[in-house]
Chains A and B, each alone.
Chain A
Amino acid sequence: MAKVTLTVNGRTVSGECEERTLLVHFIRDKLGLTGTHVGCDTTQCGACVIHMDGKSVKSCSILAVQASGSSVTTIEGLSSQRELHPVQAAFKEHHGLQCGFCTPGMVMTAVDMINRHGGKLDEATVRHELEGNICRCTGYHNIVKAVLSANAEMQAGRQAAE
């Protein structure tokens, strides 16, 4: 057994787990944060995407012990529960989700994508960057619209702040 200590959604948490425990299972089973999902066994589907030290990571492709000492944000910590993050709000506005299972990973990927591209996102880039997140419900149409819309809004917010 290994001891894992990390910061999750701003709180320091510790727990014991087997060395082979994946970060996603630690988050779901030990911390009870079940918003992060498991949709495949091969790091293809992206339902488990979280942010680790500010970068999007598939939490099924990293061991919990490797994440020890890092700072993790899951879908539960993306926004205050009262107000949606602009990406979450855009997914709602544009009907970018149906069954909701891929949604946490999609949203976490989209937030990271928008941050990295600093407002310079077009449809082709969004589609390319979503390659690691599979959705079976939406045909991606409204997801791509939501990401572009959130990007525009966040860019406008940044400009207003400057």
Chain B
Amino acid sequence: MGVEGIGARVTRKEDKRFLTGKGRYTDDMSVPGMKHAFFVRSPHAHARIRSIDVSAAKAMPGVIDVLDGKQLQADGIGNLICGWMIHSKDGSPMKMGAWRPLAHEVVRYVGDAVAIVVADSSAEARDAAEAVVVDYEELPAVTESLVALEAGAPQLHPEAPGNLIFDWQIGDPDATDQAIASAAHVTEIEIHNNRLSPNPMEPRATLGIYDTGDDHYTCYTTSQNPHVARLVMSAFYNVAPENKLRVIAPDVGGGFGSKIYIYPEEIVCLWASRKTGVPVKWVSDRTEAFLTDAHGRDHVSKVKMAFDADHRIIGLKVDTIANLGAYMSLFSSCVPTYLYATLLSGQYAIPAIHANVRTVYTNTVPVDAYRGAGRPEATYLLERTMETAARELGLSPAELRRKNFIRSFPHQTPVIMNYDAGDYEASLDAAMEAVDWKGFSARRAEAETRGKKRGIGMSCYIEACGLAPSAAVGSLGAGVGLWESAEVRVNAVGTIEVLTGSHSHGQGHETTFAQVVADRLGVSIDSVNIVHGDTDKVQMGMGTYGSRSGAVGMSAVVKALDKVEAKAKKIAAHLMEADESDIVIENGELKVAGTDKTVPWFQVALAAYTAHNLPSGMEPGLKETAFYDPANFTFPAGCYIAEVEIDPETGKTEIIQFVAADDFGNIINPLIVEGQVHGGLAQGIGQALLEDVKYDRETGQLLTASYMDYAMPRADDLPFFKLSHQNTPCPGNPLGVKGCGEAGAIGSPPALMNAITDAIGDNSLTMPATPMKVWQALQTAH
């Protein structure tokens, strides 16, 4: 490891512009003639549109135009789609209802877009939107998945009778039923995974620019994957052919999954720019973000876990109902299926698993991937069940887990995944030592003397990252491949540009990707620029989600570097009249091993471009592209332990300690990895203690549509975290990395809930464990 190479704790190259106010986010973009959009949205959860009258709005000051869904459809703009096909267990395809970018027949959730107003200023657009008269015939609404499945429930889409999208299963039902029937002990539990709003601090925004001269579109947007956005808008929404559409995702202020998807606003602003002849910018306000950004989680599950007399798990049966909201968002179908049920083996050797998943339409915001996406739901279910089982069996939580850990690799689970490497006991041991598990009973007794209730709880998580082997996900229904691309351009003076299809919206690619290059070529990270987020600059790529930038994106960079290095060595060998196999790269020089012959890196680059003296037949230039398709998922895993203290007078939970022991494989930059864990933990702790999307059951109104009502974690809700890293390098990619972006959000909710239920002695508590719910539980328990 050099001072800037792999493993070095390098501060970030991108920080200066963010710290000095020079970041360039979509809302910071301004072009000549630009106008501002505001969307007219449904105030009803479910209604038929009788008519839309825009005449008064069009006459308002500053208004350029008001456009509705009939015009959009007449222009051939397509419906939004879900890009992952799931088949029900009876073989029928998922029942996808139409999602129009602007609804003109039926609205299905509060916030469903109906019309766009384009005006000189955003304030004028907002004023005029008030004057758009939409005549609605209100229809009954349903917001909860269990109610939506009941006979007589309001029906959302004619394509999906009973609001059922699919009824899917994985695993072996018969073997699992037999295991349960023969078990010495069966733990049964119902698990609720609360609905969350991702809330990146930068609200979504888009700027659509239609150039009449070239018949060309440019879309600035807050996207985690601009190439996917371009592909989908071209291939499915008929906005423009790919060669006529440039998508730029500049600095993006957080995503957490919610900026993967292509939303109506990008499509409509591009179309509106063509219709009006002016560039059209839309910026979401926070309430719109709550009303329209894809939500996460919202599962209800029934679980049976069967043990033999020796406390080994012999079977796991799961029945899950997942609320997908009013429409199927882009990857909504894979989240409660292949990103969820395939992780239900956890860290444990379980011979028989069966999971049944039903997905349901409701009159709520569409639900899709949010940090962790399926894996937090699996982990929460498993780790709450393990904790419950340990209590029922009278075992310590660690003992029950140790007894069931997978200890040899590779390990094939009954639910598709093949774990390649891991050492679960190492993380468990590290976490228990860091938290001083042995000293807990004394601390609990001391707290008792102050009238406080202490609890401790653990969670042993595993996740699948590095999405994903293209052929594998294709066979499971994915509409895209999940490889990644990289181009390494060495300039004539030896400086380097790396073009990656990954996207950074806080992850620090400009630093970590440069470290990978610095490590290989011995150049400084300041001589390496990372370019991403612009479809006109960067070759096709798949973007950033599922903790894939390191395991897949950086692996593509390594593959391109392999090619660059090979060519550079050929040139150096030629210049030094040596054998190519004797050339080594050290400290920015190419050397003939065992001699004092060297040629500096920049001279090799220069030689490649002057092309005055290259090996016979070699093309000039030093620039290589690689596409990397992973052979397997990666499997980060770890153990989290929370120690809490509850004030029985108020029900308030204080986190005394939070310990995270993670195995991410090799680490490129510990500073950045720790930051990812901190952020993930805060979101997971937010889910467990604070955050909850609530709808009014009767009207379908969103009750938590601002920061006054939706409790975001604040600085004084959280402690300093104690982190440690264990390392079993991933054998499946050239860097041995696994991915660290989601672990914190995956592992932390069950650790906290296990601690809180340990403290109060009531296992039925659901997330979020607000002071009121904890206080009420304490009144019932005692």
Contact = CB atoms under 8 A, between A and B. Distances in A.
Interface of A: 18, 20-21, 28, 32-42, 44-45, 47, 74-76, 78-79, 81, 84, 88, 91-93, 95, 97-104, 107, 123-124, 126-128, 130-131, 133-145
A39 B203 contact: yes
Interface residues of B, number: 58
Main secondary structure of the interface of A (DSSP, over half): loop
A103 B720 CA distance: 19
A142 to B, nearest CB: 6
Given A95-B675, A98-B254, A44 B707 contact: yes
Contacts of B718: 127, 139-141
Contacts of A101: 23, 25, 200-202, 253-254
B596 to A, nearest CB: 40
Nearest to A74: B21
User: Which 6 A-B pairs give the minimum distances between C-beta atoms?
Assistant: A35-B21, A100-B18, A101-B253, A99-B506, A139-B682, A44-B707
B27 to A, nearest CB: 8
Interface in B1-45: 11-12, 14-25, 27-28, 30
A130 B20 contact: no
Given A47-B201, A95-B671, A76 B20 contact: yes
B254 A34 contact: no
Contact of B16 (A92, A127, A137): A92
A141 B720 contact: yes
Contact of B21 (A76, A130, A139, A144): A76
Contacts of A107: 19
B23 A100 contact: yes
A56 B253 CA distance: 23
B151 interface: no
Chain B: interface secondary structure?
loop
Contact of B15 (A39, A79, A97, A127): A97
Interface string B264-276: 0000000000000
Interface stretch (B494-502, B616-624, B642-650, B708-716): B708-716
8 contacts: A39-B201, A42-B286, A98-B675, A102-B253, A137-B679, A138-B682, A139-B682, A141-B678
Given A91-B15, A144-B720, A139 B254 contact: no
Given A88-B20, A136-B256, A128 B506 contact: no
A136 B721 contact: no
A128 B683 contact: no
A78 B286 CA distance: 27
Contact of A97 (B18, B22, B285): B18
Interface in B652-680: 671-672, 674-675, 678-680
B20 A75 contact: yes
B714 A131 contact: yes
B251 interface: yes
A38 to B, nearest CB: 8
Nearest to B671: A95
Contacts of A130: 714-716
B252 interface: yes
B123 interface: yes
A130 B16 CA distance: 22
B253 A100 contact: yes
A102 B200 CA distance: 10
Contacts of B715: 126-128, 130-131, 133, 135, 140, 143-144
A136 B201 contact: yes
B252 to A, nearest CB: 7
B630 interface: no
A99 B20 contact: no
A7 to B, nearest CB: 17
Nearest to B721: A141
Contacts of B287: 41
A99 B712 contact: no
Nearest to B744: A139
B706 interface: yes
A103 B23 CA distance: 10
A41 B285 contact: yes
A98 B712 contact: no
